[in-house]
Structure 1
């Protein structure tokens, strides 16, 4: 009986750790700024006073203030509005991670507007009580957020409006967004086509929900592919996790884990049991997954300070050939790789705090008072079934239960049980009902996915492109999580540059009332990675690309296909 009780507690611990890990994954890129009150210097912060708390009833007249950041420097009459649909965090990080809006605005004479998502950043409808109870947090929904954005845009086109800036009624609006923001951007176009001319949604896992047709193991399958394709020894990654558990199950192994030359454990979270070993595994795994998401071709620092191509750097520690490794060798290899993520600057005092309940999430640094926001959305409407399968699917351990949604319920209870959360507070088919998975009724959507990005498995595929209705789906080789929306850089792969070039042609037609042609896209070129000094390219359009070369490539491809069918 004691053994069964211990086993039950271990299984419960693993379920709780995994639910916590999932809740952190999609909010990965947007840690709290050093100074949450300081806006970037290229935007002005304004407030929309009196935003309706509930857009779907006329009996509740409560309001709140919604934070907006904008830049009207480049705007000229007749130009469009570039509108960012804010997502799960403060606006500061989104503004910094979406440089394409600023790079293209002068060419389009566009205004730039970032609207903060309710319940995130400084937009707290109930102030410090926003996350106090279910009655308050229940107003945190994607549908209410989209209605906020619709009301804001409608107000901006009224004369003498409360924002002090009026745009003409026929000003076209293009929505932009990455990750969950990309989901919102696409849904914004779908739900409010009379307000939004088109959407550029980067790395949006729009169908990674119940009945969306995506395997729960897709995320970790792509993570594993990204590492193995870059030269990592699959055996090392796949076997390090059991090595950790074996070490944490013996006195000698625990002695090494608590005192080694590769990493230092925080004094608050020593390894005393196998359960602590699982905490270490989750901690190391988070670094591996995050580096796959942000595997950018130049150094970045918005998540953690990282080198260019961090997966390449990580594989430098995990590329030894063969299978003859000790448990210490395996754990050391993966921990050295994780150190690139957690401690690239080699701070001698840095320690692994592996229990999130004690230290919070060292992987993202936290989101301030809104840390319950995304977990709530995962426990109400945006419910993603995700798990590693191990084996041939990925390099992690098999954690997929018979019913993943039962597992998710336990995670929600562990987080919101004190607020009396029950399954009556969620709807696993909410996204399917509100927005749908079928693009047949949609138009004017640019949906980009990075081939390196684990989230790409939750998006649409290129064969769902339908230029006649303005649906363009691109999977971009060499691109990680919404790299295409970031500021152009000399080190960007040619595939990313060409994708942006083709997208600009689409945007030009969308905002031009006289455009009568249907934009088309051509296959992206074979990937080529520049070997040069990395620096931002401001105002560099067309970035060395030409329509003629793309058209020629398309014509050549069509000719080859025609010859093939003629001969065979």
Structure 2
């Protein structure tokens, strides 16, 4: 194994600074072959500010984007690390950020992209965890230090699957907003968009999902002519003019994704996760729609365009909008490939939500993926076969948390599976709000969720240390101070 230290980075959010050192570890390109000896450099971030000998490793299972994006927005791990004397590690997912197995050529051919799978990523994490345990074991009492996995969204899925598939590597997992059941046959395809619609419907006294529902037809009416395409290009400040029907379809997809993203990050304070946004961005979006006289398609789309600036130009520094990009900080290209191969999550719309009616058509979806990536998926149930679908009663030591304002809760685990696989519901929570750092505007439900996480982690670690050496466990002192309350971590 080769290890290279890069830089020490300091990120400050409000009054708290998240610092970490950037490192790289050589890992196998293909963990499941004995005939391919190729390796690449896996990037990870590490912080040992709170770590005391034999303390646990808090390990974030990186998802679809540069790992710094998540390290700068997962303050919960930093908040509780001093309680547990923990080493903090954020691992970058292969094919995202700087972790490109084939460098700039990583996305050029299907043969290169074929190694972009969740199973390979999990094996990367196990490889890195083994390295960390080997290099951070200092006493004779333990053969290895315990590891707790954390993850949000796709990263939450990976955290859960890591515990399921490799229980010897992690003692437990906090899987926030992890839609492990958002697959064919497990969750109705319309549930996701109905949650998004309800978030907009209830954000203010006026139901702002109604004008949004009308906007799809208005867009198609306006863009039916070249004059209309030019008008909408100008009003919505698009970087490239709408010229073809494909451009219009791309615009509709972009608009839809932004509406979803605003709902996902509908946090009770300003954030910069997917884009710079104010507190309660859905409410702010809807306020811009309120009290405006709408008489025709153009007046409707004008006010919708103004509302979109909550997401596209809140800082007033964006000169135009690229309709092929909705979240610059995420690796949208890599996720598109994954969504075409193993992460096929059916979505559909009907008259009961605010989106344009669209049925789920796997054959059409597969054909579109083949045209773009040159790969054809014939078994959309592959993740169910690999990870068990809803038959996860054999799992243990996992906490699934879901905010009911988060559309991804549609595919989440919303009830306890067993005595050791728990579900935590956060009624006022958006997308993995509980993994964010403590904030004075946090709702009570997320404070309670974090307390549940701490209690669970404490139990997992107590069980681990006690089972390894009872006498050594009696000598430890940091378990006696483990309490977690809002505004007072220790």
For the aligned pair, the TM-score class normalised by the smaller chain equals 0.7 to 0.9
* CA distance in 2 between partners of 1:259 and 1:58 (Å): 56
Tell me, in whole angstroms, the C-alpha distance in 2 between the residues paired with 1:39 and 1:88. 21
For this pair of structures, how many residues does the alignment match? 457
| Cα RMSD for the two superposed structures | 2.7
Q: Is 1:344 aligned with 2:301?
A: no
Aligned equivalents of 2:194, 2:21: Cα separation in 1: 42
- Alignment of 1:43 with 2:20, yes or no, is yes
Deviations along 1:98-140, whole A, 9 cap, x unmatched? 1111110011011111111122211222222222322221111
Give the deviation of 1:249 after TM superposition: 2.7
2:339 equivalent to 1:378: yes
**Cα distance between partner residues in 1 of 2:455 and 2:34:** 42
Structure 1 pair 276/166, CA: closer, same or farther in 2 (3 Å)?
A: same
TM-superposed deviation, 1:302:
2.9
- How much has 1:286 moved relative to structure 2? 2.4
* The one of 412, 421, 424 aligned to 1:459: 412
The 5 A counterparts of 1:59-208 are 59-158=35-134, 168-208=142-182
Residue 274 of structure 1: how far off its partner (Å)? 6.1
Structural mapping, 1:484-523, within 5 Å: 484-513=434-463
Paired residue for 2:260?
289
1:407 is aligned to 2:350 = no
Asked if 1:541 corresponds to 2:484, the answer is yes
1:239 positional shift? 0.7
Distance, in Å, in 2 between the alignment partners of 1:280 and 1:124 is 29
Q: Which has the higher strand share?
A: 2
When residues 157 and 544 of structure 1 are mapped into structure 2, their CA distance, relative to the original with a 3 A threshold, is closer
Change (3 A) 1:101 1:545: closer
SS of equivalent to 2:82? helix
Cα displacement string for residues 87-107 of structure 1 (whole angstroms, at most 9, x for unaligned residues): 112111110111111110011
The answer as to 2:196 corresponding to 1:223 is yes
SS of alignment partner, residue 463 of structure 2: coil
**Bigger CA radius of gyration:** 1
Residues 64 and 332 of structure 2 are in contact (CA less than 8 Å); yes or no, is this contact kept in structure 1? no
Deviation at 1:255, TM superposition (A): 6.3
Deviation by residue 1:253-277 (Cα, 9 ceiling, x = unmatched): 55643555xx3333x314x566654
Give the secondary structure class of the aligned counterpart of 1:461: coil
* Deviation, structure 1 residue 241: 1.1
Within the candidate set 431, 439, 448, 2:383 is matched to 431
Partner of 1:298: 269
Distance in 2, matches of 1:364 and 1:246, equals 28
- What is the TM-score with the length of structure 2 in the denominator? 0.86
Indicate conservation of the 8 Å contact 1:183/1:201, yes or no. yes
1:524 corresponds in structure 2 to: none
Evaluate the alpha carbon distance shift between residue 91 and residue 228 of structure 1 in structure 2; reply closer, same or farther with a 3 A threshold.
same
Q: Tell me by how many angstroms 1:251 deviates.
A: 7.0
> Match for residue 422 of structure 1?
376
Distance between the aligned counterparts of 2:233 and 2:54, measured in 1? 64
Residue ranges of structure 1 left out of the alignment (5+ in a row): 1-35, 517-538, 547-568
Q: Distance in 1 between matches of 2:123 and 2:97?
A: 18
Change (3 A) 1:544 1:207: same
Q: Please give the TM-score of this superposition, normalised by the length of structure 1.
A: 0.75
Cα pair 2:46 2:90 within 8 Å, conserved: yes
Q: 1:415 to 1:275 in 2, by over 3 A?
A: closer
CA distance in 2: counterparts of 1:275 and 1:156, whole angstroms = 48
Deviation at 1:193, TM superposition (A): 0.8
Deviation at 1:365, TM superposition (A): 2.2
Counterpart check, 1:475 vs 2:425: yes
